[in-house]
Chain A
Amino acid sequence: MVELSAEQIAKLKALGATQKETLVKMGDDFKKEREKDAACIYTCNATGCRSGGSVSVIDAFRDALAAAGLSDRVRMVGTGCMGLCASGPLARVEIKGREPFLYKQVTPDLAQIIVAQHIAPALKDAAAPLNLSKKLAGHELSLKLPFFTKQTKIVLKHLGHSDPENLGEYIANGGYRALMKALEMKPADVIDIVKKSGLRGRGGAGFSTGLKWEMLAKSAPVGGEKFVICNGDEGDPGAYMDSCILGGGSHAVLEGMMIAAYATGATSGWFYIRAEYPLALERMELAIRQAKKYGILGRNIFGSDFNFMADLRYGAGAFVCGEETALMASLEGNRGTPRPRPPFPTEKGLFDKPSVINNVETLATVPAIILGGADWYNAIGTATSKGTKVFALTGKVLHSGLVEVPFGTTIGEMVNDIGGGTSTGKKFKAVQTGGPSGGVIPASEFRMPLCYEELKKIGSIMGSGGMIVMDESDSMVEIAKFYLEFTVEESCGKCTPCRIGGYQMLRLLKKIASGKGTRADMDKIRDIAAAMQRGSLCGLGQTAPNPVISTMKFFADEYDALLNKGRKG
């Protein structure tokens, strides 16, 4: 950055202090406005519900409100993800003095009926009982469902209940207060809170975020620069946590990044978000634009000595670019392939400068920890896995969607309570966690608490939070094949064990799945798996055999059946 005179800096600080006041007032103004509303309709406007038509639902609500002359009294909000994606588009009606009410599978037609049958009568007569037609009643989604009651929302707290494009609303909900608080602390103390909170990286590996920050804080800047990078290259099949967090809470991620930067001495930040996430990109771009406009990003932020800028880069969609060294190579404009570690990014990262790479969810958690304190966060979860984790619960489960639970929640609670049991009426067989790097957990182990250590012990991993539920009709060999096909497709091709090993393993697996496999083929798979685990350079190759190995372990009978079929034939 350009050197400024003491006088210029003093001016900028004064400006920063004014900007801080402006922001606080913006939040207060929003609250006052919200107080005035007689009712509010929150409609999920995240990617899932949008694909179900939520944009036209929102338009229909607006039209209906206008037609009923209620536009001034009822606020219409398109929100981030509400969670129960399987039942979208979702709409939540909140009328002053009444219990909130949730509708599922809302259509534009239904939106008109909701205004006419539910909202308009209630606003006309506060005492009027709710009198819904049979059709409308059929769209009620009880807020008493365990899906809602059993969750603990920290990261997702405001996602389904605020307009992600409204900076005032973010501030009214406590936004940027954590940054303001952090800026009044010593950077080392900020790191200390994060360390004590027990927060671990949510990208999958689960490394202590505080320790990672401390490593960067200790690295001297190179050419005056250090970087914070937000890894938004989520790519596990079935996982969409980061997509929703970025799309519905972009300011929280930015705030988390800025706190990380202040704590570590980073000078600028980069969001690396895959191009297949247009909404996340749009919202993040907007957040950065707003932050620049209001002096949240820039020099002498909020009157402090902290200067910071953030920018955004599109990922082209290669799965391996979620691996941090490949991500940095991609950010630099090079081919996205991993490089050996050490040196770790905190010593030599992006453009050979010290860098820390944090996952979207990790950063989104940080503001809450700064405001709530280390002890509060540390009290949630298990002995070694602290806080909450967002999961994308999908597959053969009734209530599939985005959920946030404390670590230690059992798989059984996840699928039976929150998930509401199978969607097919058949028995559960297993869940798959950790995406293509993870493994399966058979139904017999559903009492297992979800935490980093337990999942590793059973041969899977926490991963980024994908959880795919399977019932007894699912073939585990096919599941293994599906994941291996994915990693073989996504192997960058740099190192031999992954490039050729994965490919050969897939050939063997296909042979077995087709009923032509032999015991020797199973042994070959094990040999290749061992070589990939020990010899691959990056996590993708090291963990690619996991879905195969773990299904071979827990569902040996399914493999046996296929092998026997071959013998008879």
Chain B
Amino acid sequence: MVKLKIDNMEIDVPAGTTILEAARRVKVDIPSLCYHRDLNPRAACGICVVKNKGKTLRSCCTAVEEGMDITTRDPELIETRRTILKLVLSNHPSECLTCIRNDNCELRRLAATFGLREVPFDDITPSLKDRPIDTSTDCIHIDSRKCILCGRCVEACQVMQKIHALTYLDRGIKSRVGVAGGLPLGDSPCVRCGQCTAHCPTGALTEEDHSEQVWALLQNPDNHMVVQIAPAVRVALGEEFGLPVGTLVTGKIYTALRNMGFKVVFDTNFGADMTIMEEATEFVKRFTNRICLPMVTSCCPAWVNYMEKYFPDMIPHFSTCKSPHQMVGVLAKTYYAQKAGIDPAKMKVISIMPCTAKKMEITLPDMKSSGYQDVDYVLTTRELARMIKQAGIEFTKLDDGVADSPLGEYSGAGTVFGYTGGVMIAALRTAHFLITGKEMAEEDLEIKPILGIDKGVKEMTMRIDGSEIRIAVAHGIGHIAEVLERVRAALAKGAEPPYHFVEVMTCPGGCVGGGGQPCEVTDEVRIARANGLRQDDKQSKKRCSHQNANIQKVYKDFLGAPNGEKAHHLLHTHYTARPLYKK
């Protein structure tokens, strides 16, 4: 422990703690524009300056030392911070009123906190005019005019996710964030995970907003509007309305969606149960016959994109299952449409997702199995929050609604898809049943070694009916390369693969920490959201996908058997090797 004084308060903190973090323990919030607990401090903005015995230093990146005597505010420091902030504002477009981050921009908030009433420097934003907005991914927009060069996105992209799509270009006042060589983001190794958008303090990196298009669809009475929500959305949306982090608001979301004009409210969790039926069946088949092991999960489109770009040789290891919301999409436009007597051409399926990559996934060629684009639009949690506000819906006061049958019912296994380890847990619950014919014991349903977010790669060996299943679960795509390299090395030697089943989620913590979720996420937030889903699982009457009565019904009435011909046609997909940079 290190003893020091912060604003005359004595405090002991572990060695290695930064001054900024130490100050938070004595309830002093040192302002910063670039610091983010998820990321290495980059020390870019200069606003977090403090003094140690008169010497100015950056609190975000300086570790505490024994005997430090820190002053976090004095006239000089306050003036320094104010001047820096004014400088930032002189180079930032004053478009707050029309900015997508209007209500949660960290720069705007800091300016408000500081009470700045004027910017005494020249407005130099006209020099930014020649920076067009990069919309090339159709998922993520880069508006580098609004960039304050905090560097969080680059840290997230290069260090956290190890994608290296984003980097710094040019120098000095011309510095900007972009793709190497100034290429469009769409031609880069970007996997559309959106962690850059979840970490950006301003409106420089945002999701492509499809709310206007969805409003337009909703306003056309000819459309049969279907909506579904992903598991992780239900534990995050509440934050946008001031509810405690991790609050489960499933019922309120259903009601809000109906109030917005959706005719039918389904739940992606149903699709998750369906995915498990397909994937567990696929796994049992592949495991029993030792075909292309390890099998790797495929419900995360950013991960799929990563594999296609970085490890195309591993494509045969992918499960061929589509992701849950794509399954709901295709079943809505086929099974449900037939059943309800609706022309699928007039049906519009909207997915509410914690994810920006899902916006890309719906446009892939295989995602038109119904004869139409199976899912018409993806909205992120953030877009939905804005739309609810636009509709004047008082979200927190809503009564709980219920989802529509048949694609709205879900088991606990469906809901745990939203956090790291969840897909594996759900799959193993059903695999256990498929292999042994018996249900897993209640107390074993949460498979503890693969829960949690402390480690980027979690490994365990599961014993089912005398067979050992070696498992790896990775979250945060930056951790996946080591797993795949291990597999690759073993396969190259012709050795037994180190794992049989691998789950990958691109975002740290899984979808609860997704790139389309409310901003300013930290590990505490991820854990709280995951706990919300665990609660949802525990309170479910049915906790395994195969127990979902509607799932069984859909197979019986429509699909036939899991992995059967029809299921294969509608619920499975192909993968394509892709270059890192579009030639």
Residues of A within 8 A of B (CB): 318, 335, 337, 339-340, 342, 488-497, 499-504, 507, 520, 524, 527-528, 530-531, 534-537
Contacts and interface: CB of A to CB of B under 8 A. Distances in A.
Interface in B166-190: 167-168, 170-175
9 contacts: A496-B88, A496-B148, A497-B87, A502-B172, A527-B83, A528-B121, A530-B80, A537-B44, A537-B46
Given A496-B46, A497-B84, A534-B76, A524 B121 contact: yes
B173 A534 contact: no
Interface string B210-225: 0000000000000000
Interface stretch (B55-63, B291-299, B479-487): B55-63
B261 interface: no
Contacts of B168: 335, 337, 493-494
Given A491-B171, A504-B90, A537-B58, A496 B80 contact: no
Nearest to B42: A494
B162 to A, nearest CB: 15
A535 B80 contact: yes
Given A339-B43, A342-B62, A495-B43, A530 B83 contact: yes
Contact of A493 (B79, B84, B173): B173
A501 B172 CA distance: 11
Contacts of B88: 496, 500
A335 B88 CA distance: 23
B549 interface: no
Interface in B51-91: 56, 58, 61-63, 76-77, 79-81, 83-84, 87-88, 90-91
Given A504-B121, A527-B79, 14 more contacts: A342-B62, A488-B172, A493-B173, A496-B44, A497-B84, A500-B173, A504-B90, A520-B120, A528-B87, A528-B121, A534-B76, A535-B80, A535-B83, A537-B46
A492 B151 CA distance: 13
B129 to A, nearest CB: 16
A492 B120 CA distance: 24
Nearest to A503: B173
A530 B76 contact: yes
A507 B44 contact: no
Contacts of B175: 492-494, 499
B256 interface: no
Helix, strand, loop or mixed for chain A's interface?
helix
Given A339-B43, A504-B124, A491 B149 contact: no
A520 B90 CA distance: 17
Interface string B32-47: 0100000001111111
Interface of B: 33, 41-47, 49, 56, 58, 61-63, 76-77, 79-81, 83-84, 87-88, 90-91, 120-122, 124, 148-149, 151, 167-168, 170-175
A500 B83 CA distance: 11
Given A493-B171, A493-B172, A528-B87, A499 B49 contact: no
Contacts of A491: 171-173
Contacts of B172: 488-493, 499, 502-503
A489 B173 CA distance: 8
Nearest to B60: A340
- Give me the 7 closest cross-chain CB pairs, A-B, nearest first: A493-B175, A535-B46, A531-B83, A340-B61, A500-B87, A491-B172, A534-B56
A490 B173 CA distance: 10
A500 B121 CA distance: 10
Contacts, number: 117
B149 A503 contact: no
B58 A340 contact: yes
A496 B61 CA distance: 16
Contacts of A501: 83-84, 87
Given A500-B87, A531-B80, A534-B49, A495 B44 contact: yes
A496 B149 contact: yes
A501 B47 CA distance: 13
B401 to A, nearest CB: 47
B498 to A, nearest CB: 26
Max chain A CB contacts within 10 Å: which of B46, B170, B175?
B46
A569 to B, nearest CB: 20
A265 B88 CA distance: 45
A488 B385 CA distance: 42
Nearest to A493: B175
Nearest to A492: B171
B122 A507 contact: yes
A503 B171 contact: no
A133 B431 CA distance: 106
Max chain A CB contacts within 10 Å: which of B58, B87, B170?
B87
A188 B42 CA distance: 36
Contacts of B79: 527, 530-531
B46 A500 contact: no
B573 to A, nearest CB: 38
Given A342-B63, A493-B171, A495-B44, A535 B49 contact: yes
A335 B175 CA distance: 12
Contacts of B76: 530, 534
A488 B175 CA distance: 12
Nearest to A523: B120
Max chain B CB contacts within 10 Å: which of A501, A504, A524, A531?
A531
A335 B164 CA distance: 13
A534 B83 CA distance: 11
Contacts of A503: 124, 172-173
A499 B43 contact: no
A528 B90 CA distance: 13
A531 B87 contact: yes
A531 B85 CA distance: 10
Nearest to A541: B46
A489 B120 CA distance: 23
Contact of A340 (B41, B80, B124): B41
A340 B76 CA distance: 21
Contacts of A507: 121-122, 124
A486 B136 CA distance: 36
A318 B90 CA distance: 26
A491 B170 CA distance: 11
Contact of A495 (B46, B120, B121, B174): B46
B84 A531 contact: yes
Contacts of A535: 46-47, 49, 56, 80-81, 83-84
A516 to B, nearest CB: 12
Contact of B149 (A499, A502, A534): A499
A494 B167 CA distance: 12
Given A496-B45, A496-B149, A535-B49, A488 B87 contact: no
Contacts of A537: 43-44, 46, 58
A499 B127 CA distance: 14
A504 B43 contact: no
Given A493-B170, A493-B174, A496-B44, A340 B87 contact: no
